[in-house]
């Protein structure tokens, strides 16, 4: 007799500080850093980067840059990290600049969370942002595995943009999952309030990193990172690298 197909679970983790409370080793972990790491990674891979190597420290990034034929880049507190030439803006990684190359990237929150998920033996890791929303949703439905929507947040403080993206994913795939997690309810409820115009909602709510990037004159980055499917590629972590799936 065929076993009744087990319906997978979906959980949302609003801060890296809560990751350990989730069933990481039995789940596909979606690393979410809308502003801007996972948006930039999707842009680079969509524009033909061979792979993206996410590293935890600037020192490691520089070291790899001295050892390998790679492009090194990094951001700290929204600015280009000291000692590196390139930062975390999706507009840097045009086809002309990045096609066929490997990008080594370190960021304040996104790459940190990815390494935390690795340390917790995540079953699989993909990255998500509004820029590749459809690819993420299609993959999670197809895989029929437990899912954790993991928000990179800001230095462990919950942020709006990552929570909204988790809500967007839930709104599109919830009928395929068991969802008994209040964080998922919070994310979906927030998204239902903001979905009409996420940029305006973030502005109205004075979102912290949104404001920080605006102050740095990076409105173009914000608009790009909030645009659905503008670089719609599935991004999967394989053998130490993020590659287009
Ligand atoms: C992060 O990791 O915190 C972000 O990607 C920061 C940014 O790029 O502004």
Q: Among 31, 34, 37, 92, which residue has the most ligand 1 atoms within 8 Å of its CB, making it the best to mutate?
A: 37
Closest ligand 1 atom to residue 75 Cα is 8
Model pLDDT, residue 203: 98
75-83: average pLDDT? 97
State whether the beta carbon of 30 lies less than 6 angstroms from ligand 1: no
Cβ-based neighbour number of residue 173 at 10 Å: 18
Quote the radius of gyration of the chain (alpha carbons, Å).
Answer: 17
Q: How confident is the model at residue 1 (pLDDT cuts 50, 70, 90)?
A: very low
- Tell me the CA–centroid distance for residue 133 and ligand 1, in Å: 18
Residue 106 in 3-state DSSP? strand
Q: What is the pLDDT of residue 118?
A: 98
Query: Of 56, 46, 92, whose CA–CA distance to 71 is shortest?
Result: 92
The long-range contacts involving 73-77, CB below 8 angstroms and separated by at least 24 positions, are 73/103, 73/104, 73/105, 73/106, 74/105, 74/106, 74/107, 75/36, 75/37, 75/106, 75/107, 75/108, 76/107, 76/108, 77/108, 77/212
Q: What pLDDT sits at residue 5?
A: 63
User: 48 - beta bridge partners?
Assistant: none
pLDDT digits (tens, 9 = 90+) for 58-73: 999 999 999 999 999 9
Ligand 1 neighbour 108 (Cβ under 6 A): yes
In this prediction, residue 4 carries a pLDDT of 53
Q: Where are the strands (E) in the chain, listed by range?
A: 10-13, 28-32, 51-54, 71-76, 79-80, 102-106, 124-128, 147-151, 235-238, 241-244
pTM over 0.95: yes
Atom 2 of ligand 1 has which residue's CA nearest to it? 109
State whether the beta carbon of 35 lies less than 6 angstroms from ligand 1.
yes
Q: What is the pLDDT of residues 87-114, one digit of tens each?
A: 999 999 999 999 999 999 999 999 999 9
How remote is the CA of residue 36 from the centroid of ligand 1, in Å?
Answer: 5
Q: Is the CB of 90 under 6 A from ligand 1?
A: no
Spacing, Cα 180 to ligand 1 middle (Å): 30
Q: Does residue 37 have its Cβ closer than 6 Å to ligand 1? A: yes
Q: What is the pLDDT of residues 196-225, one digit of tens each?
A: 999 999 999 999 999 999 999 999 999 999
pLDDT in tens, 121-173: 999 999 999 999 999 999 999 999 999 999 999 999 999 999 999 999 999 99
Distance from the alpha carbon of residue 171 to the mean position of ligand 1, in angstroms: 25
Q: What are phi and psi of 103, to 5 degrees?
A: -105, 125
Ligand 1 center from residue 76 Cα (angstroms)? 7
pLDDT band at 6 (very low <50, low <70, confident <90, very high): confident
pLDDT tens readout for residues 42-53: 999 999 999 999
Residue 239 C-alpha to ligand 1 middle, in angstroms? Answer: 23
Residue 87 in contact with ligand 1 by CB distance below 6 A: no
Task: For residue 139, report the distance from its CA to the centre of ligand 1, in Å.
Answer: 25
């Amino acid at each position: 007799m065929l076993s009744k197909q087990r319906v997978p679970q979906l959980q949302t983790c609003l801060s890296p500080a809560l990751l350990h409370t989730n069933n990481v080793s039995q789940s596909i972990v979606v690393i979410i850093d809308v502003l801007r790491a996972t948006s930039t990674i999707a842009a680079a891979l969509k524009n033909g980067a061979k792979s993206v190597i996410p590293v935890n420290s600037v020192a490691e990034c520089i070291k790899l840059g001295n050892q390998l034929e790679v492009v090194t880049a990094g951001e700290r507190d929204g600015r280009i990290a000291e000692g590196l030439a390139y930062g975390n803006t999706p507009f840097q990684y045009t086809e002309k600049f990045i096609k066929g190359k490997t990008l080594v990237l370190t960021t304040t929150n996104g790459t940190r969370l990815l390494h935390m998920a690795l340390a917790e033996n995540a079953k699989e890791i993909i990255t998500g942002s509004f820029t590749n929303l459809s690819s993420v949703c299609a993959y999670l439905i197809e895989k029929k595995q437990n899912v954790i929507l993991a928000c990179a947040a800001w230095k462990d403080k919950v942020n709006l943009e990552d929570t909204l993206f988790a809500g967007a994913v839930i709104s599109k795939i919830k009928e395929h999952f068991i969802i008994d997690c209040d964080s998922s309810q919070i994310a979906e409820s927030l998204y239902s309030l903001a979905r009409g115009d996420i940029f305006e909602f973030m502005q109205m709510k004075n979102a912290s990193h949104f404001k920080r990037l605006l102050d740095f004159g990076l409105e173009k980055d914000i608009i790009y990172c909030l645009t659905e499917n503008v670089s719609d590629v599935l991004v999967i972590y394989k053998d130490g690298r993020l590659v287009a799936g």
